[in-house]
Amino acid sequence: MGTLKNNNFLLKSSVEFPCSYIKGNTERRVFVNIAYPEQETEIVSTLTSKGFRRNYNHMYIPMCKNCNSCVPSRINIDRFTFSKSNKRNLNDNKDLHFVKNQSYNKNRFKLFRNYCEKRHSNGQMKSMNENEFINFFHKSLNKTTIYDLLDKNKKLLGSILLDNLDEGFSAVYSFFDPSQKKRGLGNNIILQTISMLKAQNKPYLYLGFWVKESNNMNYKSSFDSVQFLKNDKWEFKS
């Protein structure tokens, strides 16, 4: 493991390990630890705007040899307009409630495990146990917000963990009931978050890395007014 420096942060580089997104590739990350809770909002906001992603209590960005497939993405809320399919999704799910809920409950972990087994059976998250999930979802040093998607009987259908940023939210992780295929719950969670940011006059929703070669990432490029970070500049998709 090496160490890099810039003017504001002490950055460390990882060893190479199997890529999480492209089979057969290796990945190397540059990361910085979030060590001081009183500085967490500034650190997370600044590094997120520069393309970093949070995982537990550190921020990272891939820096791989001969590969630049991981492209940071965000939705420009000011420019975003709801398409016909977006409006149809919201209308089809108007019976659901998108509610803030910071408290832990076992149903959330059960839904998370079910989602990982059905949708990401080969992913790293599948092996996460309950204590690890609690640390990941509920014990971050930085300020976070959790929203649940509930049906009329208060059954949990989805959740999203958001980092609170100076200029909006970063969607750290979301999951939903994989048996409810016709509802489009994954998109609905994002659309509900966009609606909330519009009401708060916040400019951005960061979606993490978009990887063209990964089918699981395709939804990120489908939204209106999505921007990608290329050569240190945020650009709208062409």
Task: Tell me the C-alpha distance between 221 and 1, whole Å.
Answer: 33
Domains of the chain in sequence order? 2-70 (no CATH), 73-236 (3.40.630.30)
Tens-of-pLDDT digits for all 238 residues of the chain?
A: 444 444 456 788 888 988 878 888 989 999 888 766 556 678 889 999 999 999 888 899 999 988 999 999 999 999 999 999 999 999 999 999 999 999 998 999 999 999 999 887 666 677 799 999 999 999 887 889 999 999 999 999 999 999 999 999 999 999 999 999 899 999 999 999 999 999 999 999 999 999 988 887 888 999 989 999 999 999 998 7
Give phi and psi for 214, each to the nearest 5. Answer: -105, 120
Q: Would you state the pLDDT for residue 141?
A: 77
Would you say 51 and 61 are in contact if contact means Cβ atoms under 8 Å apart?
yes
Looking at residue 1, what is its pLDDT? 42
User: Are residues 73 and 209 in contact, defined by beta-carbon separation less than 8 angstroms?
Assistant: yes
The pLDDT, as a whole number, for residue 8 is: 59
In sequence order, the 6+-apart residues with CB closer than 8 A to the CB of 50 are: 61, 229, 232
Closest Cα to residue 54, out of 192, 188, 163, 185? Answer: 163
Predicted pLDDT at 213:
85
Sign of the dihedral through C-alpha 17, 21, 25, 27: negative
Give the rounded distance of the alpha carbon of 11 from its chain centre.
22
Looking at residue 38, its pLDDT comes to: 54
Determine phi and psi for 208, rounding to 5 degrees. Answer: 85, -155
Measured from the Cβ of residue 34, the count of other Cβ atoms closer than 10 Å reads 18
CB contact set of 55 (below 8 Å; sequence gap of 6+): none
